[in-house]
A and B are shown apart, each in its own frame.
Chain A
Amino acid sequence: MGTTVTRPPLDLLQGTLDLLVLQTLSWGPAHGYAVARWIEQLTGDMLQVGEGSLYPALHRLEERGRIASEWRTSENNRKAKFYRLTAKGREQLQAETATWGRFVKAVGKVLRTTEQPV
């Protein structure tokens, strides 16, 4: 394949990617390709990651029971593997969204503060 892809640190990426996947699936069942396109559109390709990394993430989430899969016929009449959020996945999404929000807020606050705290 030849091309090297620069990747952000894996642990950060992993958690974020999981969260994004769960969020995209919260809109309804989708196959991996659709998930990839949505994430690309919404992040403006910011993740800069080989799209393929999405698949291990999907399979791992399925292994942990956050999402479930099923082979269905896709919009262009081909067999595709569709994923959907499970109850467990929905819970995790809610919890992590909240955590993420607090995290972003906290980091943002630090970055906005110009004076050194006493």
Chain B
Amino acid sequence: MTGSEQGRWRRALRFWRSDVRQDVDEELRFHLEMHQRELAERGHSPLTARQEAERRFGELGRIREECVAIDTRQRQRAERRETMGDLWQDVRFALRTLRKSPGFALAAILCIGLGIGVTTTIVSAVHAILIRPLPYENAHELVSVYSQDRARDEHGVNISYPDYVSWRDESRSFAALGMWTWQALAFSGEGEPERLEGAMVTANLFPLLGVRPFLGRTFLAEEETVGRNRVVLLSHGLWRRRFGGDSSVVDRTIQVDGTPYRVAGVMPPGFAFPERGEAWIPFAVDPARATRGNRMYAGALGRLRPGVDVAQARRDLALLSARLKQQFPQDNDRWEAEAIPLREDLVGDMRRPLMVFLGGVGFVLLIVCANVANLILTRGAGRRREIAVRTAIGAERGRLVRQLLTENLVLAGLGGLVGVGVAAIGVKLFSQANPDGLPWYVTFRLDGGTLLITLLLAALTGVLFGLVPAFKGSGANLTTGLREGTGGSGEGRERSRLRGTLVVVEVALSLILMVGAVLLIRSYRALTATELGFNPRGVLSFRISLPRPQYPEEPQRLAFYTELFQRIAAIPGVEAVGSAQGIPQSGWNVQSHFAVEGRPEPRQGEELEAHYQYVTPGYFPALEVPMLSGRNVALTDRDTLNPVGVINETLAKKAFPGENPLGKRLKFGGFTSTDPWITIVGVVRDIRHYRLPEPMGPAIYFPFLEWTGYTQTVTVRAGGELTAVLSGVRGVMRSLDADLPMFQVQTLEEAMARSLWRPRLQGRVLGIFAALAMVLATMGIYGVISYAVAQRTRELGVRVALGASRRQVVALVVTQGVRLALIGVTVGLAGALILTRVLSRLLYGVQATDTLTFIAVPLVLGAVAVLATWIPALRAARVDPLISMRAE
């Protein structure tokens, strides 16, 4: 009798006297009755005897409960010990069995490990971005509010200050509504000058988020006025880094943008806003900019009143917007407020790719399950005789199922361990995908939650793929089991069908994944192959922003920049220096609508819009953008009353079809606007200014001498080493203004690559899934066919003996495999046609039903499938009829 059988015996015994309470009652009743009887014998009447016995006994109820409690505790402890003991024994037995077939165990563990690893990676990404709670109090109540123009499908647009005030004061949905806008801040004085992303925020913003300062205080309402707004809040990281974590920094005066600011406080660790911003000043609005039409502030952020949902807030804001439209037709005609739950706003269009990843990884996991089920079935077939024998000598079905399940769970557990390793690597790769534009609260890591999910997944796969074969395995009919084991009669029909189905499923799912991956990869290729219109190679770019107090007048700024460009141009190796307000793909985007001289005034909503910015004459040469006609902007273009501009190809085509645009004039705003007429002096080739795949629209470039802004994005083309040039540039900067920080220092190539991180990641992730799926499906086909060959050895031997040629045998086997693959491919194609439509919004330059993909992928998969059957087929062809017929 084995230990575990003893265990079962003990359990069964206990079952008969199972109820603790009943036992205790029985024992106590025995006592009372014995006592009663004895007392009666000594002369008590039956009634008094009973009363006396009870009196002498004491508090029956309490004593009974105490005994029950003790016994229950004792039994639970014993049971736990026993279960653990049994489990451990089953596990040891399973490990021993697995060691006997290391090939099977290894294949299964790797399979499960890879599947679970990639799943956990994706789940942890999804968790990090979509599920992990935002680090704010009751974050579900938080809502972002922007402007929108539904007619033109423009969403998430900047807002104006008066609109914000109207929304704040006249809507009824918000408990509080704050406003913010991007604001980079330059820190100088102590230590290296540095420029940091941050924001201007209304005093109520941080309190409404529910974030309390780590040190000091947040802003006061009265600090929202110009003159009282020279206070700054620091992020915890900035405080540690720049001020050594010195708490006396609160109330100290420091230099920000060349102006003294008092430090109001330090925010708690981990807090950033917006995105990764780390310093904040109060939102003090310059009255000149606080006009209703001036939509230049990033957005509003509010907390809904308890019980109000986003839909209600949207209705409320829609009514309010309609009212504002009537009141201010000039400024608000196109615009209304748009409310988006904060999470949705932060996650943005990351949701779709994440869902695609999640779907993809689900497929991988299914394939893994199918594959492992197949492995187990194959092995189960080999073990049928063992199981049949064990059944014959009296092993119970339940016991066998449990043992087989334990074996599978042990496999799943080991696979899960491998999976955790794979996931750790996967998560690391994921975080290295350079995801800029990800919400700040996102950190990719394997945390307890995701590990728990992994564990559950492992257990689930263990049960899923284990259960079917386990039942099939244990349900072995005695005689067929014993007979089948001899290999004479081939595999049972039902089981062979099940295994075939599994392979078909694997092939179909792999095909879908491969099609999806190829589409995404082709899409990424198309993006990288996009004709940019400029040459990003060998260009260094950085930004500087002159502080207002030191450079209040335009001539000062002009003088500084002129000097800077000259000195940089003198650095050895520099071929061209240019500057613009924002370089391509940097997100810089200012547009306005314009009117063309001599044309009828366009109807409202039909005006042409153009991107515009001020550039230096060196800008186009530095990016190697050719002039198509006319001339470049020049250092002599400084007449602000008769300004000139260079337009791009698109604008030329749209506004002047079939005409020569040179010498024509246009003006921003309508004909009635007070802006001066702009004379077109040149046409330049289109450059892909917006983040791909967004197309380039009309654009117009003005000479920077007409207006020299504070901030410039300098581009330096150098033939040689960019690092050498960079240190030269730093030297120049130090000598010109040592307090002025350079920021966003990068090569243009880096910037391009970074801006494509998402399509790249999409292609890579699905590519990995597809590769994995293909390998697994190939393994599946190979396994099934080689098993079938092994089972049919005798039959094949007979065929050879009867004169079948080697070719005929190979064909016989290959046909079997190809048939499965063909069914799988057909099913997969149908699935892919339906499912890849989900991808269409992630695709660029390739259709979701791309013909090439839909032909090539099945061919490749088919070829691989044939290859996978070829090897067992050759083995079959080498069958020696004599040996095969003697076998077993």
Do A and B pair up? The answer is yes
Q: Which residues of A contact B (CB under 8 A)?
A: 1, 3, 5, 31-33, 36, 49-53, 55-56, 59-60, 62-63, 71, 74, 78-81
In the complex, what distance in Å separates the CA atom of A49 from the CA atom of B67? Answer: 17
In the complex, what distance in Å separates the CA atom of A1 from the CA atom of B60? Answer: 8
Question: What residues of chain A lie closer than 8 Å to B30, measured between beta carbons?
Answer: 31-33, 74, 78-81
Question: What residues of chain B lie closer than 8 Å to A33, measured between beta carbons?
Answer: 30-31, 34-35
Q: When the two chains form their complex, are residues A56 and B63 in contact, meaning their CB atoms are under 8 A apart? A: yes
A4 → chain B closest CB, angstroms? 10
Q: When the two chains form their complex, are residues B63 and A52 in contact, meaning their CB atoms are under 8 A apart? A: yes
In the complex, what distance in Å separates the CA atom of A78 from the CA atom of B56? Answer: 22
List residues 116-172 of chain B with CB under 8 A from any CB of chain A: none
List residues 22-38 of chain B with CB under 8 A from any CB of chain A: 23-24, 26-28, 30-31, 34-35
- Of the four ranges (under 10, 10 to 19, 20 to 34, 35 or more), the interface on chain B belongs to 20 to 34
Query: Beyond the given A33-B30, A52-B59, A55-B31, could you list 6 further A-B residue pairs with CB under 8 A, ordered by the A residue number?
Result: A1-B55, A5-B59, A49-B58, A51-B35, A53-B58, A55-B66
> Which of A3, A51, A56, A79 is the one whose CB lies under 8 Å from B66?
A56
User: Secondary structure of the B side of the interface?
Assistant: helix
The A-B contact count (CB < 8 A) is 71
> Which of B17, B54, B55, B70 is the one whose CB lies under 8 Å from A59?
B70
Q: When the two chains form their complex, are residues A59 and B67 in contact, meaning their CB atoms are under 8 A apart? A: yes
* Interface core residue of A55, A56, A71, A74 (most chain B CB under 10 Å): A55
Once A33-B30, A63-B73, A79-B26 are accepted as A-B contacts, the answer to whether A55 and B59 lie under 8 Å apart by CB is no
22 contacts between A and B (CB under 8 A): A1-B55, A1-B60, A3-B55, A5-B59, A33-B34, A50-B58, A51-B56, A52-B28, A52-B63, A53-B58, A55-B27, A55-B31, A55-B63, A56-B63, A56-B67, A56-B70, A59-B66, A59-B70, A59-B74, A62-B74, A63-B71, A79-B26
Question: What residues of chain A lie closer than 8 Å to B24, measured between beta carbons?
Answer: 55
A71 → chain B closest CB, angstroms? 7
A103 → chain B closest CB, angstroms? 27
Question: What residues of chain B lie closer than 8 Å to A53, measured between beta carbons?
Answer: 58, 63
In the complex, what distance in Å separates the CA atom of A51 from the CA atom of B56? Answer: 6
A15 → chain B closest CB, angstroms? 17
List residues 347-370 of chain B with CB under 8 A from any CB of chain A: none
Q: When the two chains form their complex, are residues A52 and B74 in contact, meaning their CB atoms are under 8 A apart? A: no
Q: Which residue of B lies closest to A81 (CB)?
A: B27
In the complex, what distance in Å separates the CA atom of A37 from the CA atom of B55? Answer: 15
| Top 8 closest pairs, chain A to chain B, by CB | A50-B58, A52-B58, A52-B63, A59-B70, A52-B57, A56-B66, A63-B74, A33-B34
Question: What residues of chain A lie closer than 8 Å to B67, measured between beta carbons?
Answer: 55-56, 59
In the complex, what distance in Å separates the CA atom of A46 from the CA atom of B71? Answer: 29
Q: When the two chains form their complex, are residues A60 and B55 in contact, meaning their CB atoms are under 8 A apart? A: no
Question: What residues of chain A lie closer than 8 Å to B56, measured between beta carbons?
Answer: 50-51
* Interface core residue of B17, B23, B67, B71 (most chain A CB under 10 Å): B67
Q: When the two chains form their complex, are residues B17 and A71 in contact, meaning their CB atoms are under 8 A apart? A: yes
> Which of B17, B23, B26, B57 is the one whose CB lies under 8 Å from A51?
B57
Question: What residues of chain B lie closer than 8 Å to A71, measured between beta carbons?
Answer: 17
In the complex, what distance in Å separates the CA atom of A59 from the CA atom of B56? Answer: 19
In the complex, what distance in Å separates the CA atom of A33 from the CA atom of B35? Answer: 8
In the complex, what distance in Å separates the CA atom of A79 from the CA atom of B29? Answer: 11
> Which of B31, B60, B66, B74 is the one whose CB lies under 8 Å from A32?
B31
